[in-house]
Chains A and B, each alone.
Chain A
Amino acid sequence: MKPQELIKRHLNDIQKPSRYIGGEFGSVVKDASAVDIRYAFCFPDLYDIGMSHLGMKILYHLLNERQDTWCERVFAPDTDMEALMRRYSMPLYGLESKDPIRDFDFIGFTLQYELCYTNILNMLDLAGVPLLSEERDDSYPVVMCGGPCACNPSALADYVDLFFIGDGEEYFPVLLDLYKSCAGKSEFLRRASQISCMYVPKYHDPNKKVVRAMVEDLDRMYYPSQFVVPFTETVHDRAMIEVMRGCTRGCRFCQAGMIYRPYRQKSPKRLLDCAVRLCENTGYDEISLSSLSTSDYEGLAELTDDLLDYCVPQSISISMPSLRVDNFTKNILDKISAVRKSGLTFAPEAGTQRLRDVINKNVTDADIENTCRIAFEGGASAVKLYFMMGLPTETDEDLAGIVNIANHIEDLYYNINGPKARKLKINISLATFVPKPFTPFQWEAQITVEEAKRKQDYLMSLPHSANIRIHCSDGRTSRIEGVMSRADKKIGKALYEAWKLGCKFDAWDEHFDYDKWVEAFRRANICADDYASRTRSEDEHLPWDIIDVGISKEFLLRERRLAFKAQTTPDCRRKCAGCGINKYCKGDVCP
């Protein structure tokens, strides 16, 4: 039975069925008999999330540019659809062909966050593929993973044949060419393990590190001029251009800022060209300038000026998802609200100057005030602020600082707009800090669930006005994220037990079940504290030491020590901090 037929038979039982049928504009359909390689690009979360993800769009079209390859999309079905698929024994299929992915050559997952790991096991199971790598003979597809979380592959190492570390544009084609020249999966994996950026657990040489792939000149890299345009609304349903990769700031908690080094910008000219083609081909009325920190992009003024000339007559709005509070200007605000007004989001991350110095978030109270002033004078009546809780050296005073900032912003708003102004909305989003591999905080202990709770209660007990809404993430979710982030291979067993107990969609509050995880750790004989809330010694061998992301451990240790002295490190554009990446790849500002 085809998925369309299954859905039609149970239309009343399935939410948003268009997520399961493909056929979107821009999706690529090929003749299966005319290609050599069939690749299932799997995003281990719902369609609504996965279809918003830029990396998937780039690789989907990159792979499909090849005549010999057909890449299809696969997402985790929601529980209603999964129940039906299991009832009818319908194996997980590619959205384009509706063919079972267990008959493909590759099943490739992108790892964007650790809380999707149970979904990976569940999707393999739904595909009808044995979970363990060693139980899959040559007749099964190569199961591979890429994306930021692959930089610590340990938790998934038993289930995955190959991890791809780093930028995909240059090495993906190499991988596919190699596959074509091999007689079977075993030969392919053995030879792939010789490629610098591939980690193949089965054939890994412990004396050699896997080196992250980095593309030096982004301008010369492939960028799609077409996207798959979903029927149903997704989280980010818009055209996107990637203006740069990497970030010069060096915030010490930030894994992306470390593992995407060095800083590589695209030229405004190339970007304008990509943006216009993408808007014309997709029909989107919004284009997002995507990067880790878009207001840092040097060509921003030139790019947005040219872009607006194109966008305004077409009613296309420009959005920038990641703005910094220390260089937000009236000019930027005018440009992002030229066609449509959108919400403003900033991330001061910590409530006091001292703690912001610890984490190297080089942002001052004056910056925050200045940014909000610009926003309020420009007519904004809502701001969203991101903070973290449980940062190293944090005290209650630092938490109180968060509420102080919010109170101060409120005063500022009414001072500017008068007491009768439209009601102000300040949304504060507070995430529990999770120490990540390849950051200066990779040795730190994460706060416990109890401590997270205490901090939250304390914060909520501080007086703040009704205009200020504080939302705290669940400390229990963060704990699981913490265990997965710094997992070693033993965690694989716990992951399996958790999946067996029914854990999936752990990033979703309505599905997350902490008790099941506790039980899974018990069954796998894992002490979760050992992973999440233990300070590692500096000479401890870390599970992710098998990977070389390009920055040196000495640099991380240096940064760690500076953190505890609350000393900041300047932005790469002002002074090189000697992270070591320039040995592999010189970015725009590396010496």
Chain B
Amino acid sequence: MPVRIRFSKTDTACFISHLDLVRCMTRAFQRAGISVRRSQGYNPRPHIVFAAPLSLGIESTAELMDVIVEQDLSPAEIMQRLNGGLPRDIRVSDVYEDGMPFRQISKARYNLKFPEQYARLFDSFVNADRIMTVKKNKHGPIQTDIKPYVNIERFDIGPAGADISLILPTGPDYNISMRVFLGAFFDSFENDEQIFYACRTDFFDKNGKLFR
């Protein structure tokens, strides 16, 4: 039975790299006693497909992965068992059978928070004519203006600092990772530490429909 699993990755779990997450999930299924269809090959491992990798340091309440469960288990049972096999800061919040195809993912929403001293700086950063990011590939660094792709939905400044909701392109067609975006912001002024909170909260398809 193919199922989609929605899970969160918060607090300490935001430091788990994608590779480590794959290993962690593999073991979690084993611990949960859930048998998952394996990949073919010399060293068969459970075949797990993730929606979109999450950068290090970013939390999430919206991660998605697909597996084929080879037992007769209800979604509620899968969720309960898997949570028993997962570390504290990774929690399954939903399991369902009728997920939309991952290739339709086109955007992700993030909640971003900065301390007060960064609020103004962030304001001018996103309101500048251009938002330049540097990506390295084999031909050397390439500069891109990502301003047209960044959509700030909400920007509140209060005594606790800035609280922002923003949308970044995500998925197979065009992808801007939160880390690249934050890197551009922290490169735009003098600092010797990066204070932020970032959490991915939703995915959307290209029509802006909530992806599930």
Write the residues of chain A forming the contact surface with B, with a CB cutoff of 8 angstroms.
4, 7-11, 17-18, 21-25, 27, 29, 229, 231-233, 280-285, 314-315, 340
Contact B12 A21, beta carbon cutoff 8 Å: yes
Contact A10 B193, beta carbon cutoff 8 Å: yes
Write the residues of chain B forming the contact surface with A, with a CB cutoff of 8 angstroms.
11-17, 20-21, 23-24, 26-31, 33, 38, 43-44, 56-57, 85-89, 193-196
**Contacts between chains A and B (CB distance < 8 A), count:** 75
* CB nearest neighbor in A for B59: A8
Closest chain-B Cβ to A434's Cβ sits at a distance in Å of 36
Contact A8 B85, beta carbon cutoff 8 Å: no
* CB nearest neighbor in A for B197: A8
Interface residue from A10, A23, A284 paired with B12 (Cβ < 8 Å)? A23
Taking CB atoms, residues of chain A closer than 8 Å to B20 are 18, 231-233
Taking CB atoms, residues of chain B closer than 8 Å to A282 are 27, 31
Taking CB atoms, residues of chain B closer than 8 Å to A7 are 15
Contact B17 A18, beta carbon cutoff 8 Å: yes
Contact B86 A21, beta carbon cutoff 8 Å: no
Closest chain-A Cβ to B57's Cβ sits at a distance in Å of 5
Known: A8-B194, A25-B85. 8 other contacts (CB 8 A): A17-B15, A23-B11, A27-B87, A29-B88, A232-B20, A281-B31, A283-B28, A285-B30
Closest chain-B Cβ to A379's Cβ sits at a distance in Å of 14
Closest chain-A Cβ to B4's Cβ sits at a distance in Å of 21
Known A-B contacts A9-B195, A231-B24; A18 and B43 likewise in contact (beta carbons under 8 Å): no
Taking CB atoms, residues of chain A closer than 8 Å to B15 are 4, 7-8, 17-18, 21
State the CA gap A284–B85 with chains docked (Å): 12
State the CA gap A283–B26 with chains docked (Å): 8
Known A-B contacts A232-B20, A283-B27, A284-B27; A11 and B56 likewise in contact (beta carbons under 8 Å): yes
State the CA gap A314–B44 with chains docked (Å): 11
Contact B31 A11, beta carbon cutoff 8 Å: no
Q: Which of A8, A17, A232 has the largest count of B CB atoms less than 10 A from its CB?
A: A8
A-B contact pairs, 7 of them (CB 8 A): A8-B15, A11-B56, A18-B12, A23-B12, A27-B87, A229-B27, A283-B31
Known A-B contacts A8-B196, A10-B193, A18-B15; A23 and B89 likewise in contact (beta carbons under 8 Å): yes
Closest chain-B Cβ to A152's Cβ sits at a distance in Å of 39
* CB nearest neighbor in B for A284: B27
Taking CB atoms, residues of chain B closer than 8 Å to A280 are 31, 33
Taking CB atoms, residues of chain B closer than 8 Å to A340 are 43
Taking CB atoms, residues of chain B closer than 8 Å to A10 are 193-194
Interface residue from B21, B31, B195 paired with A25 (Cβ < 8 Å)? B31
Contact B11 A4, beta carbon cutoff 8 Å: yes
Contact B85 A283, beta carbon cutoff 8 Å: yes
Contact B57 A8, beta carbon cutoff 8 Å: yes
Taking CB atoms, residues of chain A closer than 8 Å to B43 are 340
State the CA gap A9–B86 with chains docked (Å): 26
Closest chain-A Cβ to B188's Cβ sits at a distance in Å of 16
Taking CB atoms, residues of chain A closer than 8 Å to B57 are 8, 11
* CB nearest neighbor in A for B191: A9
* CB nearest neighbor in B for A340: B43
Closest chain-B Cβ to A160's Cβ sits at a distance in Å of 31
Taking CB atoms, residues of chain B closer than 8 Å to A232 are 17, 20
Closest chain-B Cβ to A20's Cβ sits at a distance in Å of 8
Contact A9 B194, beta carbon cutoff 8 Å: yes
Closest chain-A Cβ to B1's Cβ sits at a distance in Å of 21
Interface residue from A17, A284, A315 paired with B56 (Cβ < 8 Å)? A17
* CB nearest neighbor in B for A231: B20
Closest chain-B Cβ to A8's Cβ sits at a distance in Å of 5
Contact A9 B193, beta carbon cutoff 8 Å: yes
State the CA gap A531–B146 with chains docked (Å): 65
Closest chain-B Cβ to A287's Cβ sits at a distance in Å of 13
Known A-B contacts A9-B195, A283-B26; A25 and B16 likewise in contact (beta carbons under 8 Å): no
Taking CB atoms, residues of chain B closer than 8 Å to A314 are 30
State the CA gap A103–B206 with chains docked (Å): 54
Q: Which of A10, A17, A233 has the largest count of B CB atoms less than 10 A from its CB?
A: A17
Contact B87 A23, beta carbon cutoff 8 Å: yes
State the CA gap A315–B33 with chains docked (Å): 14
State the CA gap A282–B15 with chains docked (Å): 21
State the CA gap A18–B87 with chains docked (Å): 13
Contact A22 B12, beta carbon cutoff 8 Å: yes
State the CA gap A555–B26 with chains docked (Å): 52
* CB nearest neighbor in A for B21: A231
State the CA gap A284–B193 with chains docked (Å): 37
Taking CB atoms, residues of chain A closer than 8 Å to B196 are 8
Taking CB atoms, residues of chain B closer than 8 Å to A21 are 12, 15
Taking CB atoms, residues of chain A closer than 8 Å to B13 are 23
Contact A18 B30, beta carbon cutoff 8 Å: no
